C-alpha cells in the first residue's frame, strides 16, 4: 500500500510541474508577442544600449583577403612533363605553382617582397617538399618575380568578389606569355 500511495503522490507532483512549465511557456510567448506593440524597450530606457542592427551596419567590413607570407622556391627542367597532382603535365613555362593546402585551380597573386614584383599563378600541384617553404613556383613565375633560388613572398588568393585582384588577373591572362615557346619563333 505504501508504494501505491507513493506513486499517486509522485504522479500528482509530476502533473503540477507540467502545469507550471506550460504556464511559464504561455507567459513567455505572451510577453514576446507584446514586445513589438509599442511598449518601451531597454534601448528606449537607456540610450547607451545600442541596437544590434545599427551596430551590425557600423561594423560591416570589406571582406578580408586570404594571404600567406613565407619562403618560396621554384622548380623547372627536372620536372618538365611529369604529371602534377591535378593530373596535367607540368610545364615550367606556364604560370603555375605547388601549394600544400589550397584547392587545385586556385589563382594566387605572388609578390616578391624583396623587389615588390608580382604575378598571378594557378595552383596545379602539391608541395613544396622542403620544410619551411610555403610555395613552389614554376620556372616562368620565378623568372617574372626575379626570384633566384628562394625568396620571401606574399601569396594572396583571388576570389570572385574581389574586383581589384580579378581585374589584375584578367589583364595578365590577356597579355601574351613571354615564356610560350611557340611565340619565341
- How does pLDDT run across 170-182, given as a tens digit for each residue? 888 887 655 554 4
Q: Which residues contact 162 (CB under 8 A, 6 or more apart)?
A: 63, 65
- How does pLDDT run across 139-184, given as a tens digit for each residue? 999 999 999 999 999 999 998 888 888 888 988 888 765 555 444 4
* pLDDT (mean) for 45-70: 63
Using CA atoms, how far residue 117 sits from 65, 111, 141, 145, 154, in Å, is 19, 6, 11, 5, 11
pLDDT at position 183: 45
User: Strand, helix or coil at 147?
Assistant: coil
- Residue for grid cell 528606449: 44
Alpha carbon dihedral 176, 177, 181, 184, in 10-degree steps, equals 60
Mean pLDDT, all residues of the chain? 79
Sorted by where each starts, the structural domains of the chain and their CATH numbers stand as 67-174 (2.40.40.10)
Q: What is the pTM of this model?
A: 0.61
pLDDT at position 174: 85
How far apart CA 136 and CA 127 sit, in angstroms, is 7
How far apart CA 88 and CA 75 sit, in angstroms, is 16
Amino acid at each position: 500500500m505504501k508504494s501505491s500511495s507513493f506513486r499517486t503522490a509522485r504522479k500528482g507532483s509530476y502533473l503540477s510541474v507540467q502545469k507550471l512549465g506550460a504556464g511559464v511557456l504561455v507567459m513567455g510567448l505572451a510577453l514576446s508577442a507584446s514586445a513589438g506593440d509599442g511598449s518601451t524597450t531597454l534601448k528606449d530606457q537607456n540610450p547607451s544600449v545600442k541596437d544590434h542592427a545599427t551596430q551590425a551596419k557600423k561594423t560591416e567590413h570589406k571582406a578580408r583577403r586570404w594571404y600567406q607570407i613565407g619562403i618560396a622556391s621554384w622548380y623547372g627542367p627536372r620536372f618538365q612533363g611529369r604529371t602534377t597532382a591535378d593530373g596535367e603535365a607540368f610545364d615550367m613555362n606556364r604560370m603555375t605553382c605547388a601549394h600544400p593546402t589550397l584547392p587545385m585551380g586556385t589563382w594566387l597573386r605572388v609578390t616578391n617582397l624583396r623587389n615588390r614584383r608580382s604575378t598571378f599563378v594557378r595552383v596545379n600541384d602539391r608541395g613544396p617538399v622542403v620544410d619551411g617553404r610555403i610555395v613552389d613556383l614554376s620556372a616562368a613565375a620565378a623568372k617574372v618575380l626575379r626570384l633566384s633560388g628562394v625568396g620571401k613572398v606574399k601569396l594572396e588568393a583571388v576570389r570572385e568578389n574581389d574586383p581589384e585582384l580579378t581585374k589584375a588577373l584578367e589583364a595578365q591572362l590577356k597579355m601574351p606569355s613571354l615564356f610560350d615557346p611557340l611565340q619565341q619563333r
